[in-house]
A and B are shown apart, each in its own frame.
Chain A
Amino acid sequence: MMTIVTNSLTEEHNETLVTSGVSKGDVSDFFALLKPRVMFLVVFTALVGMVVVHPDIHPVVAFASLLMIAIGAGASGCLNMWWDADIDAIMIRTRKRPIPAGKIAPGEALAFGMTLSVGSVIVLGLVSNVLAASLLAFTIFFYAVIYSMWLKRSTPQNIVIGGAAGALPPIVAQAAVTGHVGWESIILFAIIFIWTPPHFWALALVKSSDYERAGIPMMPNVAGPDSTRRQILAYTVLLAPLGLAPVAYGFGGLAYAIVATLGGLGMLALAVQVFRLREGEPAMRVAQQLFGFSILYLFVLFATLLAEHGLGFFRPVFG
């Protein structure tokens, strides 16, 4: 059934959009294919991955590396939209994306995504090093192939394993500016990785009918809402202390320790509420609150690290 939808969508769009041999998409449609909000998060976390190690490299090289990581992330988002155009057309949340909305043909999106993927990896290799370029190529492959083409439609653990792709940018960034992968970026990776399940499952609880209609096996649709709530709580119990790991490893200062403690308690309080409230409007409202707060939590953690290391606000907690 899914294949039939894909084929008919692809043929229809290719016929209507490329009949004259000229693309019909606007510049803003192509930009939307790059998932700008995800790109912003990638740039932000990658920048923090760079700043916390105080690299001894020219700012221009660091900027160019960051730009290529951003373009690589955008390219993987574009390939994701190309592959998922059939289910994006079904879901209310995604049906206005450029391909299902009929603004860009699938073939154009594929060409655009592949060009940017190859280009960003090559240029990152040239401006920084082969390790960083290889890690960026792996990130794009992991998101576009492992997550989008395989995990997303086959297992409720899709966003758990696929979350690795979203967590890799600090590692790529540290490799780009130092030539190796250190504990700092691995800890930042772990924080984003463990943060991903409660973040997405809170959204999945609210949008479960949307995912159900598209046939995506999200945790609430497969294991049920109650099991999802238990797992959200379990991951949040792991996340709250993990958020303090930068302090233990010495690159999170006093301000970070305070923010991570308060933020972790806030996440825990909301996860407990999500676990307790299971029926009706209050249950949906608290899940929505957890989703919103989780974005704020991650943003504030990384922004604090950025301020401590980039603006000189670092005050050590120990000694």
Chain B
Amino acid sequence: MIERLLTATALFAVLAATPTSAATPTVGLALRGESNGAAGSDAARTETARVETGSERPVAVETEAPPTAPPTAARELVALRADVVHLGDGRSVEGATVLLENGRVRAVGKDLAVPEGTPVQVLKGHLAPGFVLANSYLLPGNERFDSTRAFLPDASIVHAFRADTEGLSKALRAGVTTVLLSPAENNVVGGRTAVVKTAGKRVLSPGAHLSVSLSTAAVDDRRYPTSFSGLIAELRQQLVAGEGAYGEVKGGKLPLLVYARDRHQVVRAVELGREFGIRGVLVGASLAGEQLALLKESGWTVVFDTPGAGASERMLDAMAAYAAGGAPFAFSYSSADDLRFAAAQLLRRGVSPDVLMRALTSGGANAAGVGANVGRLERGLDGDMVLWSGHPLELTSSPRAVYVDGALVHRAPQIPGAAH
């Protein structure tokens, strides 16, 4: 699916179909498809789209070849050995080595034999895949929310992506390497989500889902639809008609990202899914643990928002029940500390650290549709890693170094508290 979306034509279609609106002021497109010289392979192609958002600084949106591309001729090998290596699937290996080749993982193992001459860095601490968050609230509100139209099936949030957004670099410093950008839940249909890296301007997916909101924020008495019934009726109408993005959704080509916070909204999402053969993720279903059986059977993945301090016991208990229930889940990103705080709350309620590590890495990647690129330390996947001073889920630990595509993109100062 990723490959399909990344073809130049598909990307062009997505970009061209986006109307000029308040959310995307002026969109000047300069699209070129070119062969990646370094890769030297037809399969490895890079499409570069320039998206100008009205300011003087253009943002380059690069999409790279899928990780199945064959290794390049110019091999750059580097090996990192750490006290503990977390693989991203919930497992961890003590004293393991990660061998990187051209920024991708070539091998991971405990007694890994590395090719002669490979530089080996021995690191103190835990090496884990960079966190992958299957939803985020990073972009400015006015870039996520179109107040005039409730239905924007042809919009793409990727046009609002600015690599120099402060929130992205904050997330990076906190060990988050990949995030999904989503339209706000005020729009009933907000358009396509995008999955981007927090460093290096890379767009992993310019259209991971179609964003749909069943939350109360989508029902606005100042514009259509003004009620839940109206909202569901219009959505059904569009899905039955099946034009454009709705057709892709109906055919199972494009998953949905559904804001469903209350339990009745979750039930409606599951019903719509059953009726039209739709799969996807449910964002903000904080009481999903009270609907575990329904959700397990439905095949939807829950993306939990991360409550900070003072979250209600009922919500935390429900989250813990869901996490322990074996159904797939991931997390949203609002702030680095809220994220780890939420994980800590669940640990204190007995959820296993392995389950939480999986949700923060491969679970997030799978929910965002980029599980083949990031989220695990496994052959062929991107070398997105974080070196933590201790176990990543201990609040007393902090990220010491962050690597994206094998390159060191952030290093913490020696004394964390003295870095100002």
A and B bind: no
